[in-house]
């Protein structure tokens, strides 16, 4: 079955960076784009960006441009999210989610499988 397993919780100081991993299994890794979505405590969902595991191309939400980097490692079927210059407002649960579309070219934003989430706390 499709599984996305994320790395564990992190505690960071303001100004630091964090790198969260998302390991995929149960399907062909390069056939589905991966999105990252974050959720601040008690808040809604915020789309951060998308990576194509096939070629590594990325698109980031404008809000995070310059602070976010998404990468992938096809040898381990893992995608990574790195967020830099952390501030207290970045405290959130970060989710990776698979795009439903079975294509190395197209994606439609329908998120059919999600990781369990990674809590990143930013505090001095």
Partner 1 sequence: DIQMTQSPSSLSASVGDRVSLTCRASQSIDNYVNWYQQKPGKAPKILIYAASSLQTGVPSRFSGSGSGTDFTLSISSLQPEDFATYFCQQTYSSPEYTFGQGTKVEI
Strands 118-122 and 10-12, sheet pairing = parallel
Three-state SS at 70: strand
- Residue 51 burial by Cβ neighbours in a 10 Å radius (0-12, 13-18, 19+): buried
In whole angstroms, how close is the CB of 49 to partner 1 at the nearest point? 8
With binding defined as CB under 8 A, does residue 51 bind partner 1? no
**Which residue in the set 68, 69, 114, 121 belongs to the binding site for partner 1 (CB under 8 A)?**
114
Three-state SS at 117: coil
- In this complex, which beta carbon is closest to partner 1, that of residue 10 or of residue 17? 10
Structure tokens at 42: 């008690």
Site string for partner 1, 91-110 (x = CB under 8 A): ----x-x--x------xxxx
The window from 10-18, 24-32, 42-50, 81-89 that contacts partner 1 (CB under 8 A) reads: 42-50
Three-state SS at 36: strand
Interface residues toward partner 1, by CB under 8 A? 35, 43-47, 49-50, 59, 61-62, 95, 97, 100, 107-112, 114-117
């Amino acid at each position: 079955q499709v599984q996305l397993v994320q790395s564990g919780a992190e505690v960071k100081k303001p100004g630091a960076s964090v790198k969260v991993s998302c390991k995929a299994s149960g399907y062909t890794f390069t056939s589905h784009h991966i999105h990252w979505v974050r959720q601040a405590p008690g808040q809604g969902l915020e789309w951060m960006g998308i990576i194509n595991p096939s070629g590594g191309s990325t698109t980031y939400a404008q809000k995070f441009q310059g602070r976010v980097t998404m990468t992938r490692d096809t040898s381990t079927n893992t995608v990574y999210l790195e967020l830099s210059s952390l501030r207290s407002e970045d405290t959130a649960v970060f989710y990776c989610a698979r795009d439903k579309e079975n294509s190395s070219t197209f994606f439609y934003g329908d998120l059919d499988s999600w990781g369990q989430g990674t809590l990143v706390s930013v505090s001095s």
